[in-house]
Amino acid sequence: MSIHCDAKKNDIEKTVLMPGDPLRAKYIAENFLDNPRLVNTVRNILAYTGTYNSKPITVFSSGMGMPSIGIYSYELYKFYDVEKIIRIGSCGTYNKDIHLFDTILVDKSYTEGNFAYEWSGKKEHVSVASKELNDLIDNTAKKLGINCIRGNAFCNDCFDGYLDNLDDFISRLPKDVLACEMEAFALFYIAKYLGKQASCLLTVVDAYFESKSITAEERERSLNEMITLALESVN
């Protein structure tokens, strides 16, 4: 069994929502789920299982970066028989057509890193979300009237906000990239490797071409819309 999770096998449901921040997992459990119960505390990577509209679901935090989500997604798929993981996170954008608080559904994730090479000896730098799960989320967004922009994202190894030469980094981004985040490539890669499903929903909280400062209330409201979309898509 897992060495990074002390949950019992029947504590984890087949569908998992995966925020990065453990406190966001706690927030989702307390504000969206009925009868949530804490099922993992190892390394303070909090996980909760409860129900949403009477359907059981687990919310399991991933931590930051590809190594962290790679570990937790592998163990959930491999040892707990999880079938679907939807990452729900925040992102930045260097695309003029994407704005603060936009919701993005990631189809492909690009990386300059070597996660795939270390995992399987393959020099792969693009991984793909599960089309079936993405189509379901896309259709749910239309039914709910949520503007969900479907496209591609870049998966960083380094937090781009701290780079010495940001312009050089931006110049290397593929032209079709809508957002930058730090986990999706590894999640998609592990899901495909194990024959499972994975998707990634992102809320834009930092836009390079917008100088607007955002309030805590605005940030919470936009994240709540993304959380609701994910939950409704698997209900």
Cα–Cα distance between 177 and 147 in angstroms, integer?
18
> Quick one: pLDDT at residue 1?
67
Q: What is the pLDDT of residues 25-70, one digit of tens each?
A: 999 999 999 999 999 999 999 999 999 999 999 999 999 999 999 9
Annotate 140-182 with DSSP letters as a single string. Answer: HHHHHT--EEEEEEEE-SS-GGG-S-HHHHHHHS-TTEEEEES
State pTM to two decimals.
0.97
Domain annotation for the chain: domains and CATH numbers? 9-233 (3.40.50.1580)
Cα–Cα distance between 115 and 189 in angstroms, integer?
9
User: How confident is residue 214, by pLDDT bands cut at 50, 70 and 90?
Assistant: confident
Cα–Cα distance between 111 and 180 in angstroms, integer?
10
Backbone angles phi, psi at 61, to 5 degrees: -75, 155
Burial class (CB in 10 A: 0-12, 13-18, 19+), 4: middle
> CB–CB of 65/38 below 8 Å?
no
- Positions marked catalytic: 206
pLDDT at 223 over 80: yes
DSSP 209: T
Q: Work out the widest C-alpha separation in the chain, in whole angstroms.
A: 49
